[in-house]
């Protein structure tokens, strides 16, 4: 198996290059973060594979004539596969990373428009999960990848949203792009920011950063103090930090 020997050679080369004695190197404490990060990309990859789309299926999608949906969804699937590969490469440089083969379930879609709305919700949820994960990570190699994947999935979400709603950036927004803590992601609640109902307990939350709760508000995240709560308590700030997602579509629960 020439392919596999070449691949393992590349992986080994990556391990050798990745070896660093500095305190910035990946630590064993990064393993649960990488496993959590892996499950997010792997879940989306499995989701896209579960519904192979075609032009007929996508014809009834809102603005299907302008969205170039088929070509873009094939490309989105490709990007998600690259994301899985990226986390695998990071994991290959970590000491004890093991990729869980979870049996996920997926939101069902009997028509193209429902499918596209599901994709929008899942892509924006995963984007927000990666944003939060960056706040749990100290190793530069891991933090870099979470930032890149957050940008990647945010781009996917905005491509879809731009063909579904007219105003993406309401002028009265009080929040940056949504971020979702692991606790929110693993919750079995429905709607944006939650994936627990599809994970079935297979995915575990990474440990709290520095042993403290990272509170996420509309603009910043704060260790150990819920700034969102104090901002809500003081009525003075008109542009107060709130947990309200900024894009108009992000509030809609499909
Ligand atoms: C098109 O894709 C949908 C969704 O995966 C599937 O249900 C349908 O059978 C496919 N149609 C054709 C003609 O392949
Ligand atoms: C993961 O599980 C699925 C079914 O649950 C199986 O089809 C697949 O072969 C498994 N993959 C690996 C790499 O073990
Ligand atoms: C999508 O369709 C809706 C409803 O027909 C329309 O209001 C909107 O302008 C369209 N958006 C784009 C980007 O084509
Ligand atoms: C922002 O304005 C829209 C209408 O333009 C309104 O529906 C929405 O409730 C407003 N949101 C806030 C947080 O004030
Ligand atoms: C969600 O439900 C699953 C069972 O499907 C359970 O294993 C898991 O612990 C639940 N998650 C939470 C956060 O309650
Ligand atoms: C922080 O405070 C806000 C506003 O009171 C609240 O909605 C949110 O649930 C709190 N976050 C946590 C993690 O307790």
pLDDT tens digits along 32-55:
999 999 999 999 999 999 998 899
**Residue 235: pLDDT above 70?**
no
Q: Give this prediction's pTM.
A: 0.85
Q: How does residue 253 score in pLDDT terms, banded at 50, 70 and 90? A: very low
How would DSSP label each residue in 90-116? HHHTSSS-------------SSHHHHH
Report the chain's terminal Cα–Cα distance, integer Å. Answer: 45
Q: Whose CA is nearest to atom 2 of ligand 6?
A: 229
**Residue 79: pLDDT above 80?**
yes
What's the 35 CA to ligand 5 centre distance in angstroms? Answer: 18
pLDDT score for 66: 84
Contact of 119 with 254, CB cutoff 8 Å: no
Per residue, the 3-state secondary structure of 209-237, as one string, reads HHHCCEEECCCCEEECCCHHHHHHHCCCC
At which residue do the structure tokens 């994709």 appear?
A: 119
Report the CATH number of the 27-251 domain.
1.20.1260.10
Give the atom of ligand 4 at the shortest distance from the alpha carbon of 167: 5
What's the 228 CA to ligand 5 centre distance in angstroms? Answer: 27
Q: How does residue 231 score in pLDDT terms, banded at 50, 70 and 90? A: low
What's the 156 CA to ligand 4 centre distance in angstroms? Answer: 25
pLDDT score for 21: 60
Mutation pick for ligand 6 pocket among 243, 244, 245 (CB with most ligand atoms within 8 Å): 243
Can you say whether the dihedral through the CA atoms of 39, 41, 47, 49 is positive or negative? negative
User: From the CB of 46, is ligand 3 less than 6 Å away?
Assistant: no
Q: What angle, 0 to 180 degrees and rounded to 10, lies between the N-to-C axes of helices 140-161 and 31-50?
A: 30
Distance CA 57, CA 112 (A): 5
pLDDT score for 23: 83
User: From the CB of 139, is ligand 1 less than 6 Å away?
Assistant: no
Higher pLDDT, 12 or 74: 74
Across the chain, where does the E strand assignment appear?
A: 214-216, 221-223
Question: Mean pLDDT, to the nearest integer, of 185-202?
Answer: 97
Q: Is 37 helix (H, G, I), strand (E, B) or coil?
A: helix
At which residue do the structure tokens 């695998």 appear?
A: 88
What's the 212 CA to ligand 5 centre distance in angstroms? Answer: 23
Q: Which tens digit of pLDDT belongs to each residue from 122-135?
A: 999 999 999 999 99
Q: What is the DSSP letter of 29?
A: G
Provide the mean pLDDT of the chain: 86
Higher pLDDT, 165 or 125: 125
139 closest CA partner among 200, 72, 204, 90: 90
Contact of 146 with 199, CB cutoff 8 Å: no
Q: Is 185 helix (H, G, I), strand (E, B) or coil?
A: helix
**Residue 20: pLDDT above 80?**
no
Q: What is the DSSP letter of 208?
A: P
- Sequence-distant (6+) residues with CB within 8 A of 62 are 113, 116, 163, 164
Q: Which tens digit of pLDDT belongs to each residue from 176-189?
A: 999 999 999 999 99
């Amino acid at each position: 198996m020439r392919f596999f020997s070449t691949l393992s050679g590349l992986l080994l080369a990556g391990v050798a290059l990745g070896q660093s004695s500095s305190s910035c190197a990946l630590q064993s404490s990064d393993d649960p973060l990488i496993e959590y990060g892996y499950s997010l990309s792997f879940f989306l990859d499995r989701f896209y594979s579960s519904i192979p789309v075609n032009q007929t299926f996508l014809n009834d999608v809102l603005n299907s004539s302008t969205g170039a949906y088929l070509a873009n969804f094939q490309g989105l699937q490709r990007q998600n596969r690259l994301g899985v590969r990226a986390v695998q490469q990071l994991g290959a440089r970590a000491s004890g990373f093991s990729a869980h083969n979870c049996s996920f379930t997926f939101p069902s879609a009997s028509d193209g428009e429902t499918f596209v709305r599901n994709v929008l919700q899942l892509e924006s949820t995963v984007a927000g999960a990666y944003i939060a994960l960056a706040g749990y990570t100290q190793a530069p190699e891991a933090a870099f990848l979470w930032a890149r994947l957050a940008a990647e999935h945010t781009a996917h979400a905005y491509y879809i949203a731009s063909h579904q709603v007219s105003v993406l950036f309401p002028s009265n927004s009080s929040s940056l792009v949504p971020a979702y803590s692991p606790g929110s992601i693993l919750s079995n609640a429905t709607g944006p920011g939650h994936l627990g109902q599809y994970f079935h307990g297979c995915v575990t939350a990474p440990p709290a950063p520095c042993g403290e709760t990272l509170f996420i508000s509309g603009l910043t995240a704060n260790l150990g103090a819920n700034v969102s709560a104090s901002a809500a308590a003081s009525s003075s700030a008109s542009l107060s930090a709130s947990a309200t997602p900024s894009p108009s579509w992000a509030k809609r629960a499909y």
